[in-house]
């Protein structure tokens, strides 16, 4: 009787040990960056990928949790989890697509995870003029000149040089 009990115990131990649960909730392999700025002439791709068992499904949602889908010519959700913003014409700019907060959601039967907020901002390339107000200064003294650019490009402009009305050039970071 003892021998059969020990044998039964061993059989149960071996069979239970081979029934491991290898399921795993989603884990990001590539989490999207927090900010994605691009121009209408370049477009952008926001990458998101995750692993798990079973393999997780990638869904892109707005900050309010509503799922986003394809908008022909403006936004594509690819099967690999990437969110693509192809180049577009200036007149096709749509704030609800091109100035939006997105979140990557990865889910499977074990659980779900979501990325940090992804702030997407497209800038339409268009002509603009930078201006500087006239400042009066006594010869030999210093002057502070402020370059004014339109607000829609201010985050993307770096002043590298000044040119006066007679063609003299003054470079940034030089005396």
- Mean pLDDT for the chain? 86
Give the chain's length: 175
Region at 155 (left for phi over 0; alpha for psi -120 to 50; beta for the rest): alpha
Pinpoint the residues of the chain covered by CATH 2.60.40.10: 24-123
Q: What is the pLDDT of residue 11?
A: 42
Q: Which CATH number among 2.60.40.10, 3.40.50.700, 2.30.42.10, 2.30.30.40 corresponds to the domain 24-123? A: 2.60.40.10
The tens digit of pLDDT for each residue in 62-76 reads 989 999 999 999 999
Q: What is the pLDDT of residue 29?
A: 97
Burial class of residue 140, CB neighbours in 10 A (0-12, 13-18, 19+): exposed
The tens digit of pLDDT for each residue in 103-157 reads 999 999 999 999 999 999 999 988 877 787 778 889 998 888 788 887 777 777 7
Identify the CA nearest to 147 among candidates 133, 137, 135. Answer: 133
Higher-pLDDT residue of 128 and 89 is 89
């Amino acid at each position: 009787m003892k021998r059969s009990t020990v044998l039964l115990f061993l059989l149960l131990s071996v069979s239970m040990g081979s029934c491991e649960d290898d399921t795993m909730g989603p884990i990001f392999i590539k989490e999207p960056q927090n900010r994605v700025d691009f121009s209408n002439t370049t477009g952008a791709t926001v990458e998101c990928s995750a692993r798990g068992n079973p393999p997780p499904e990638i869904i892109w949602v707005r900050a309010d949790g509503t799922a986003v889908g394809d908008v022909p010519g403006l936004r594509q959700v690819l099967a690999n989890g990437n969110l693509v913003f192809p180049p577009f014409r200036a007149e096709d700019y749509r704030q609800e697509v091109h100035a939006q907060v997105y979140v990557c959601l990865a889910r499977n039967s074990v659980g779900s995870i979501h990325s940090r907020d992804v702030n997407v901002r497209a800038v339409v390339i268009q002509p603009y003029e930078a201006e500087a107000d006239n400042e009066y200064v006594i010869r030999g003294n210093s002057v502070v000149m402020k370059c004014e650019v339109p607000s829609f490009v201010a985050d993307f402009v770096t002043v590298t040089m000044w040119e006066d009305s007679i063609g003299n050039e003054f470079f940034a970071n030089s005396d």
